[in-house]
A = this chain, B = another copy of it.
Amino acid sequence: MIKQVIIGVVCGAAVLTVGILIGHFGIAKSGTSAPSWLKDVAKDVDESLIEKFMSEVDNIQIQENLRSLTKVPHMATTAGDEETVQIMLKRWQDPETGLDKAWREEYWVYLSFPDKNNPNTVTVVSPTNTVLHTIREKEKPYTPDQSDPEVVQPYAAYSPAGHVKGKLVYANQGKPSDYSELNKTVDLRGTIAITKYGGAGRSAKAINAAPYGVVGVLVYTDPLDMNDGLMSDANETYPHSWYMPPSGVERGSYNIDFGDLLTPHLAAKEETYRINATDITGIPPIPTQPIGFEDAYRLICELGGEPAPDAWQGGFNCTYNFGGPGFKPTSSFTNSDVKLDIYNYEEVKPSSNVMGFIRGSVEPDRYVIYGNHRDSWVHGAIDPSSGTSVMLEITRVLGKMVKQGTWRPRRSIIFGSWGAEEFGLIGSAEYTEQYFAALSERSVAYINVDIAVFGKKLHTAPVKAPGHEKSVYDNWLQYTNKTSPTHGLIPRMGYLTGAGSDYAPFSHYLGITSMDMSYTYDKTKTNARIYPAYHTAYDTFDYASKYIDPGFVGHQAVARTAGNVLIRLADSLILPLNCADYAESLEEYLSTALNLYEQKLKTMNISMEPLKHAVTSFRAAVSNLEKVIQSPDLANETPLKVRWINDQLMLLDRAFLDPLAFPDKYGFRHVIWASSSAGKQTFPGLADAYANAESSGQASDWDKVHYHLSVLSQAILGAASTLTDDMQTQTWRK
């Protein structure tokens, strides 16, 4: 489940300050009688080891990993999923290239499946109940693996089963504003709405529809949004290009909250308390089904009623009408209903994480965590197996060094191959719930590499790949950059404000500094909002090796980059987390917030001064800590002093957690990086509260703005205290 496309996104403080600190710390070595551990304790990251690691990362190994992981469909908890469990265990338990240990952790999780014996159907039925058209049940296969009987029928996971029919209407992206607009001229009661992917979350399209009396929802991918308008599999779409074929359907989990839906905040063990399924929120209240655009084309172009607004038009060569409701008088479907027969069922099933561990030599109680999910919707060559192939190559190279005794990280490394991510980040979320305490206490950072390569055909290749000239860094700088007040022109990193992959429970629930990394295509060259085979039956080895990353040099670049970060996090004497960049982000957020809100808030007698003061104090704390880190005195200090600095850096993101700040957003506790619906690049709670107050005008809503200002000020000052040597001397505002 990737909801956002991201380039090497780093959340929070996780910015590399590599190099600067190398060789910085050392202890006096004038004698021989010092204890034997002294040298180990003072050891910093070894650059030559990183070079060695980089040189051993092999693109062909990654390719073969991918081939093996994508042999069969491996949807969560299926036999194919178990095959990948075995692959991971075998690799991580390999006596020559494995880890110190590897094992399975199981959770009993609530999943939703279509019924093999009663496939979901969508039909156009005449008033006399004659079936005039049947939507394609499965995608058209182009390769043998695509016709594997284990290819799951496209469906909307967590859509309720049900049998509904009604006149069809076109509701654009299914946003609240879309239904509101449509409702102005069309009576929506008893209708079926067809909607495009994008604009609103999957389940939101049905949640937004139900209050208007809509009884069922169809969802499709418009060729304009994904295929740059291309529609024909005769010569335009896969297997002729990376574009989505006409029968392709994006599957997906139609829910909002992450983690097992029956066990919020509790690890889903067999005997764990479960809420009633009827109390689950955030899933479709009415039957919902995704369909391919070849079928959507038939349905939409036959619709009657007024033409939809320009902004609603898509890639089909017809006018998108609202629907009469229903089809136009000239259509052979006139007066017909669309009927959904949905047989989805829910089941609590055991899902496995596979865990791997390399014990740290000097600080075994500090964890660097690296993970990706293992489950896919079908073969999942890109999502998630590209990431898993990269992870397996990293563990192969590191594992070999560990087994040969040539390297052991300073800190422990945990590898996680998460289960059931596609159903809502379940494996990773349950893991963070189960080990909440120990992970909070000990985790230095979490690195996520899910979709390793989104595509590369549309721009120059990544570097250190044979025969190419530009480095990853140069590429990055060319395609995505920003000007930092501190650093000048640098690669831009996004913020992990959403819940698009398994970093979410680590970052948002545990406050662990997290990074999500991928190699992606040039967004200026295509409208595709993601790689077009995403969540379809076409996301296969064939597709990946032909259209996403021929030669697997993109994968190799990601493996090198992610592994490089991993080793630095594990081995650096001082953690390579640059808190000055955190201050810069807060300053940018503050500046935006002041521009957007200060004037109006003054008229409401709500002061933003405490927030300004908090950000200023945070910057001061950062500057002081940086001086300590860069001070030559550090060389004479005890290992406990170094540990203290590292603890300050490690715990910085934790200090921003407030488990009560967002009562309506499950799992979001980080007051800086939480998701926001206001669409402003600033503090999420403040932005959402402000948007809400502005829209309602109610005093109690303005109170919430003030509340979020206080929550933020307190959290930022609290985080400043975390960075401050002596919290008591810090100047807090009255």
Task: Give A residues with C-beta under 8 Å from B.
Answer: 27-28, 30-35, 37-38, 40-41, 101, 103, 105-106, 108, 263, 265-267, 269-273, 355, 357, 359, 362-365, 414, 433-439, 441, 607, 609-610, 636-640, 643-644, 647, 651, 654-655, 658-660, 703, 706-707, 709-711, 714, 717-719, 721-722, 724-729, 732-734
Contacts and interface: CB of A to CB of B under 8 A. Distances in A.
B727 A435 contact: yes
Contacts of A271: 607, 609-610, 710, 733-734
Contacts of A654: 437, 441
A50 to B, nearest CB: 23
Given A414-B728, A434-B732, A714-B434, A722 B441 contact: yes
Contact of A707 (B273, B435, B724): B273
A28 B32 CA distance: 12
A417 to B, nearest CB: 14
Contact of A38 (B34, B609, B636): B34
B435 A718 contact: yes
Nearest to A700: B276
The number of times this chain is found in the oligomer is: 2
A209 to B, nearest CB: 30
A718 B265 CA distance: 13
Contacts of A727: 435, 438-439
A483 to B, nearest CB: 31
A269 to B, nearest CB: 6
A636 B706 CA distance: 55
Q: Which 5 A-B pairs have the closest CB atoms?
A: A31-B33, A437-B655, A438-B721, A437-B718, A34-B34
A728 B273 contact: no
Contacts of A640: 41, 362-363, 639-640, 643
A120 to B, nearest CB: 32
A711 B103 contact: no
A396 B609 CA distance: 40
Given A33-B32, A435-B718, A436-B718, A269 B734 contact: yes
Contacts of A637: 37
30 contacts: A31-B34, A34-B35, A35-B38, A35-B638, A37-B638, A41-B638, A106-B734, A269-B732, A270-B734, A271-B609, A271-B610, A362-B638, A362-B640, A363-B644, A365-B644, A365-B647, A433-B714, A434-B732, A435-B718, A435-B721, A435-B727, A437-B654, A437-B719, A438-B724, A441-B647, A441-B651, A441-B654, A441-B722, A639-B639, A659-B659
A632 to B, nearest CB: 15
Contacts of A265: 658, 660
Contacts of A439: 727
A357 B728 CA distance: 8
Nearest to A722: B437
Contacts of A435: 718, 721, 727
A721 B31 contact: no
Contact of A710 (B272, B438, B644, B725): B272
A620 to B, nearest CB: 15
Given A103-B728, A265-B660, A709 B273 contact: yes
Given A607-B271, A714-B434, A726 B357 contact: yes
Nearest to A106: B734
Nearest to A363: B640
A732 B105 CA distance: 9
Given A108-B734, A272-B714, A365-B647, 19 more contacts: A27-B35, A32-B33, A35-B636, A105-B732, A265-B660, A267-B714, A270-B734, A272-B710, A273-B710, A355-B728, A359-B726, A362-B640, A364-B726, A365-B644, A435-B718, A436-B718, A437-B722, A438-B718, A438-B721
Contacts of A272: 610, 710, 714
A654 B636 CA distance: 33
Given A38-B35, A647-B441, A726-B359, A710 B27 contact: no
Contacts of A706: 273
A266 B711 contact: yes
Contacts of A105: 732
A496 to B, nearest CB: 20
B34 A714 contact: no
Contacts of A655: 437-438, 441
In this complex, the member of A609, A647, A718 whose beta carbon has the largest number of chain B beta carbons within 10 angstroms is: A718
Nearest to A708: B273
Nearest to A724: B438
In this complex, the member of A31, A658, A660, A721 whose beta carbon has the largest number of chain B beta carbons within 10 angstroms is: A721
Nearest to A270: B734
B722 A438 contact: yes
Nearest to A441: B651
In this complex, the member of A269, A271, A654, A658 whose beta carbon has the largest number of chain B beta carbons within 10 angstroms is: A271
Contacts of A660: 265, 659
A364 B725 contact: yes
A437 B33 contact: no
A609 B270 CA distance: 11
A40 to B, nearest CB: 8
A706 B643 CA distance: 41
A27 B722 CA distance: 31
A637 B365 CA distance: 14
